[in-house]
């Protein structure tokens, strides 16, 4: 369908309709169509007021992202909006569905705004590393005040029509369902009231009497971990309270163009497109998923209770099986607590919680209660023997066609599948903790998994509001396999003289949500210990062992849950403080290993950590465990607290230059060629002058 802007008159109302499916993006054709329509309106003696409206599902979803990074084509959006605003006859924006980014800026160019129920209005530009660049940072504060404007612009989170009405962002909510009719009625009533053109640029500047701008700046500096766009947007809003409208617009343009040029924008756009690309799998493109209504969860510990919460919150019925009634009670209490938290946050009504607990959730000790389930998710202890026993039992109880999934973190899904007579129905569904919160779902496809089981896993992720990434079978799949590798690099640095506290600090300064030792304390040191035990048999004589980690484990210092791990936690405190005793234990471990400690710069820490991550990432792609580098990126963005504005580890490597990463690995190999050997794919790409992104297109 061709993009177009149409013009017609209804009585004395000119109706200007933007039509560019699916989201009426502001492409060049739409911008010039709007400019033509408003040129015509000015000279059209049969029309006294104009309504601008979107065809289809919404007013306007935003700019045309495909034009980003290309030479600008006129007319520019700021000019088109100025032209609308400068109309001598009044203009009404009729908003339904969504008005986002440039779409909301167009509505701010109008003189009156009416919105339909169910509308979302927002300026989400910062999520792509930019900021509003068509007057949004200047008009919004004049209309709703600096504080509300800053909240919307720096968070990027849209508001509802009710919130918009309250803040003054819109003038009316239409009663009926038909926004077009309602907007024309509204325009006609404005005409009979002789309502004038009312440009926002003509309103007085917002004041900053309470110093809100500085408050927002200080707050964001603390929370952003290196992301720049929201802070630059604060500068633009500051200009709106200090400068004339025309000067403020100029400043906005300057700051906008500066952000367009930053690597952060490139990282965030990569994240945005990658998140969409992970769901596009050729192997399931035309395969119908199986129906999932009833879910069984085996095990109600940390993960089982979280998975059950996620399922019931999204409308699925869950039967959870535990070993005894004490454990079922505990699981039910955990889930009820999670639902209470959802009620507190306004995500769930109290009566919905009650209905879930009485009708949708069953907690039992009898596996027989699972017989009607469409999908089982096993989340028992991480032991092959226990898992095999469970799967053999499930195979007896469940009819063919029911999907049997394991939430294992590391174990071989092919081996688990062999205990059933239907390996085609077996798959790995690797959730992350806390499962009702974390967005990532690794879908682990085993050798015999049927394509419609894979399709069902992706459909389930959608139902649960999660992002699914396809992974192949290996120890730890995509995420935990790469984690094991860079975690080892961090342990080596500790053995060689870096403190865990310096390492964590260097990596949070880089932008990670947490450093590796903070992660250990959160997850529990018993998890790492169990993994080392499991892998002990495969150890190589040249592997360097983190004896300090075992020492902490044997002292019972298991992390936050015991109040002591790498950090010491006062009661109720989750941040923790460094512990000199831990440093002594580490010093002892170095002595026993015969290493003489040296100092590390923060830069070297980041380089070693990232080189290990990227190198193993390249192997994971090369072996087909991850389909493309972007799949690795999405796993790290959604499951491992990787800074989104860096795009993911593979995008980071591309932006830094693969030759630079490879050179680091070769340098590190000079003193340890057992751990540091360049991944063949990395060497190949460097030799061919290519980057990881060249593999994302296939
Ligand atoms: P957990 O110890 O908290 O819970 C395991 C639960 O399984 C216990 O409540 C136990 O009573 C129950 N259980 C054991 N055997 C059972 C059986 N035969 N029938 C019914 N119930 C049984 O462990 P967890 O942290 O929830 O981990 C569960 C699985 O999820 C493991 O495979 C783990 O590797 C994986 N996983 C854990 C995390 C995490 O961060 N904790 C993240 C992703 C995946």
Over residues 334-393, the pLDDT tens digits come to 999 999 999 999 999 999 999 999 999 999 999 999 999 999 999 999 999 999 999 999
Is 396 a member of any domain? yes
Query: Encoding tokens for residue 423?
Result: 């390996």
For ligand 1, atom 14, the nearest C-alpha belongs to 380
Please, where are the H alpha helices in 47-157? Answer: 77-85, 102-109, 136-144, 146-155
For ligand 1, atom 8, the nearest C-alpha belongs to 301
* pLDDT on residue 90: 98
Is 341 a member of any domain? yes
Percentage, residues of the chain above pLDDT 90: 95
Compute, in angstroms, the gap from residue 310 CA to the centroid of ligand 1.
16
Over residues 98-143, the pLDDT tens digits come to 999 999 999 999 999 999 999 999 999 999 999 999 999 999 999 9
**Residue at which a domain ends, from 471, 487, 505:** 471
Do 249 and 297 reside in the same domain of the chain? no
Q: How confident is the model at residue 698 (pLDDT cuts 50, 70, 90)?
A: low
As for how many domains the chain has, the answer is 3
Compute, in angstroms, the gap from residue 383 CA to the centroid of ligand 1.
9
Is 66 a member of any domain? yes
Map residue 353 onto helix, strand or coil.
helix
* Residues annotated as catalytic (active site), given as ranges: 105, 125
The CATH number that applies at residue 33 is: 3.90.226.10
Q: How confident is the model at residue 66 (pLDDT cuts 50, 70, 90)?
A: confident
Q: Are strands 49-54 and 13-19 parallel, antiparallel or unpaired?
A: parallel
Do 560 and 414 reside in the same domain of the chain? no
Query: Encoding tokens for residue 148?
Result: 């509300």
Do 202 and 310 reside in the same domain of the chain? no
Over residues 142-159, the pLDDT tens digits come to 999 999 999 999 999 999
Map residue 351 onto helix, strand or coil.
helix
Do 563 and 689 reside in the same domain of the chain? yes
Compute, in angstroms, the gap from residue 524 CA to the centroid of ligand 1.
14
Long-range pairs, 571-579, Cβ under 8 A, ≥24? 576/518, 576/521, 578/499, 578/501
Compute, in angstroms, the gap from residue 191 CA to the centroid of ligand 1.
67
Do 127 and 191 reside in the same domain of the chain? yes
For ligand 1, atom 43, the nearest C-alpha belongs to 432
How high is the ipTM of this complex? 0.99
Compute, in angstroms, the gap from residue 126 CA to the centroid of ligand 1.
38
Do 529 and 455 reside in the same domain of the chain? no
Cα–Cα dist 332/320, whole Å: 9
Is 287 a member of any domain? no
Is 277 a member of any domain? no
Q: Which of 297, 301, 384 to mutate to test the pocket of ligand 1 (most atoms within 8 A of CB)?
A: 301
Do 445 and 564 reside in the same domain of the chain? no
Distances (CA, A) of 514 to 503, 518, 639: 10, 6, 12
Compute, in angstroms, the gap from residue 393 CA to the centroid of ligand 1.
17
* pLDDT on residue 218: 96
The CATH number that applies at residue 634 is: 1.10.1040.50
* pLDDT on residue 573: 83
Q: How confident is the model at residue 517 (pLDDT cuts 50, 70, 90)?
A: very high
The CATH number that applies at residue 420 is: 3.40.50.720
Q: Report which of 579, 590, 580 is spatially closest to residue 495, judged by C-alpha positions.
A: 590
Question: Is the CB of residue 431 less than 8 Å from the CB of residue 441?
Answer: yes
Do 39 and 63 reside in the same domain of the chain? yes
Q: Which atom of ligand 1 is nearest to the CA of 306?
A: 26
**What is the torsional sign of CA 86, 91, 92, 93?**
negative
Facing residues of 361 across strands?
Answer: 318
Q: Which of 303, 435, 437 to mutate to test the pocket of ligand 1 (most atoms within 8 A of CB)?
A: 303
Do 691 and 672 reside in the same domain of the chain? yes
What domain range is 374 assigned to? 292-471
* pLDDT on residue 67: 84
Query: Encoding tokens for residue 46?
Result: 């049969």
Residue 231: pLDDT above 90? yes
Question: Which residues approach ligand 1 with their CB closer than 6 A?
Answer: 298-304, 321-323, 327, 379-382, 386, 390, 407-409, 431-433, 523
Do 447 and 558 reside in the same domain of the chain? no
Q: Tell me how far apart the terminal alpha carbons of the chain are, to the nearest angstrom.
A: 27
Do 543 and 601 reside in the same domain of the chain? yes
Give the range among 87-96, 133-142, 205-214, 328-337 with minimum mean pLDDT: 205-214
Cα–Cα dist 110/87, whole Å: 9
Cα–Cα dist 250/377, whole Å: 56
**Residue at which a domain ends, from 408, 439, 471:** 471
Question: Is the CB of residue 661 less than 8 Å from the CB of residue 682?
Answer: yes
* pLDDT on residue 52: 98
Question: pTM here?
Answer: 0.92
Do 494 and 438 reside in the same domain of the chain? no
Question: Is the CB of residue 430 less than 8 Å from the CB of residue 407?
Answer: yes
Q: Report which of 618, 603, 601, 599 is spatially closest to residue 662, judged by C-alpha positions.
A: 618
Q: Which atom of ligand 1 is nearest to the CA of 409?
A: 34
Residue 459: pLDDT above 90? yes
Cα–Cα dist 130/260, whole Å: 6
Over residues 581-593, the pLDDT tens digits come to 999 999 999 999 9
Map residue 467 onto helix, strand or coil.
strand
Residue 694: pLDDT above 70? yes
User: Interior CA angle at 25 toward 693 and 162, to 5°?
Assistant: 115
Over residues 644-660, the pLDDT tens digits come to 999 999 999 999 999 99
Residue 1: pLDDT above 70? no
Is 620 a member of any domain? yes
For ligand 1, atom 12, the nearest C-alpha belongs to 299
Is 281 a member of any domain? no
**Residue at which a domain ends, from 471, 500, 522:** 471
Map residue 13 onto helix, strand or coil.
strand
Q: Which of 333, 380, 412, 526 to mutate to test the pocket of ligand 1 (most atoms within 8 A of CB)?
A: 380
Is 286 a member of any domain? no
């Amino acid at each position: 369908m061709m993009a177009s802007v149409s013009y017609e008159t209804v009585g004395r109302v000119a109706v200007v309709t933007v039509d560019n499916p699916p989201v009426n993006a502001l492409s060049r054709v739409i911008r010039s169509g709007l400019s033509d329509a408003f040129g015509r309106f000015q000279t059209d003696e049969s029309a006294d007021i104009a309504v601008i409206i979107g065809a289809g599902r919404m007013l306007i979803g935003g700019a045309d992202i495909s034009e980003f990074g290309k030479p600008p084509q006129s007319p520019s959006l700021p000019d088109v909006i100025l032209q609308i605003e400068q109309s001598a006859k009044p203009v009404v924006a009729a908003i339904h569905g969504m008005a986002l980014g440039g779409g909301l800026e167009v509505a701010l160019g109008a003189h009156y705004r009416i919105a339909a129920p169910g509308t979302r209005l927002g300026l989400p530009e910062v999520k792509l590393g930019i900021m509003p660049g068509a007057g949004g940072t200047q008009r919004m504060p004049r209309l709703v005040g600096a504080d509300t404007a800053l909240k919307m612009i720096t968070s990027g989170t849209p508001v509802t029509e009710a919130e918009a009405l309250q803040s003054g962002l819109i003038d009316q909510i239409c009663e009926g369902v038909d926004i077009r009719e309602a907007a024309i009625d509204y325009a006609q009533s404005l005409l009979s009231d002789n309502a004038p053109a009312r440009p926002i640029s003509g309103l007085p500047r917002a004041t900053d009497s309470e110093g809100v701008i500085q408050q927002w700046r200080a707050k964001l500096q603390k929370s952003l971990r290196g992301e720049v766009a929201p802070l630059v947007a604060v500068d633009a809003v500051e200009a709106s309270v200090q400068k004339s409208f025309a000067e403020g617009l100029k400043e906005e343009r300057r700051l906008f163009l500066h952000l367009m040029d930053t690597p952060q924008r490139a990282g965030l756009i990569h994240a945005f497109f990658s998140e969409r690309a992970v769901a596009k799998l050729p192997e399931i493109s035309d395969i119908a998923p199986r129906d999932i209504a009833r879910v069984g969860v085996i095990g109600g510990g940390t993960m089982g209770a979280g998975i059950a919460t996620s399922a019931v919150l999204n409308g699925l019925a869950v039967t959870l099986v535990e070993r005894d009634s004490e454990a079922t009670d505990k699981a039910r209490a955990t889930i009820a607590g999670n639902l209470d938290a959802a009620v507190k946050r306004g995500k769930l009504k109290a009566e919905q919680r009650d209905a879930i607990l009485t009708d949708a959730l069953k907690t039992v000790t009898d596996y027989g209660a699972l017989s009607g389930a469409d999908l089982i998710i096993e989340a028992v202890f991480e032991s092959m023997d226990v898992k095999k026993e469970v799967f053999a039992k499930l195979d007896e109880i469940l009819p063919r066609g029911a999907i049997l999934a394991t939430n294992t973190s590391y174990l071989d899904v092919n081996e688990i599948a062999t205990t059933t007579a239907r390996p085609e129905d077996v798959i790995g569904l690797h959730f992350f903790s806390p499962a009702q919160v974390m967005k990532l779902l690794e879908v682990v496809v085993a050798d015999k998994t049927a394509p419609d089981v894979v399709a069902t896993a992706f459909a389930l992720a959608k139902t649960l509001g999660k992002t699914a990434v396809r992974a192949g079978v290996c120890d730890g799949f995509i995420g935990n396999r790469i984690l094991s590798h860079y975690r080892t690099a961090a342990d080596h640095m500790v053995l060689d003289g870096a403190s865990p506290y310096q390492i964590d600090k260097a990596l949070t300064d880089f932008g990670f949500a947490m450093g590796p030792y903070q992660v250990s304390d959160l997850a529990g040191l018993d998890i790492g210990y169990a993994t080392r035990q499991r892998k002990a048999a495969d150890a190589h004589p040249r592997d360097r062992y983190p004896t300090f980690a075992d020492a902490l484990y044997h002292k019972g210092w298991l992390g936050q849950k015991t109040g002591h791990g790498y950090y010491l936690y006062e009661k109720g405190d989750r941040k923790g403080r460094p512990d000199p005793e831990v440093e002594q234990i580490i010093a002892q471990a170095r002595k026993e290993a015969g290493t003489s400690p040296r100092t590390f710069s923060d830069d070297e820490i980041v380089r070693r950590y990232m080189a290990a991550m990227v190198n193993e990432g390249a192997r994971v792609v090369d072996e087909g465990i991850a389909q493309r580098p972007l799949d690795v990126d999405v796993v790290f963005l959604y499951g491992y607290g990787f800074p989104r504005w860096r795009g993911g580890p593979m995008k980071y490597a591309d932006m830094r230059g693969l030759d630079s990463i490879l050179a680091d690995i070769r340098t590190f190999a000079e003193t340890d060629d057992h751990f540091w050997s360049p991944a063949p794919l990395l060497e190949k790409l460097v030799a061919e002058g290519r980057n990881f992104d060249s593999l994302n297109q296939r």
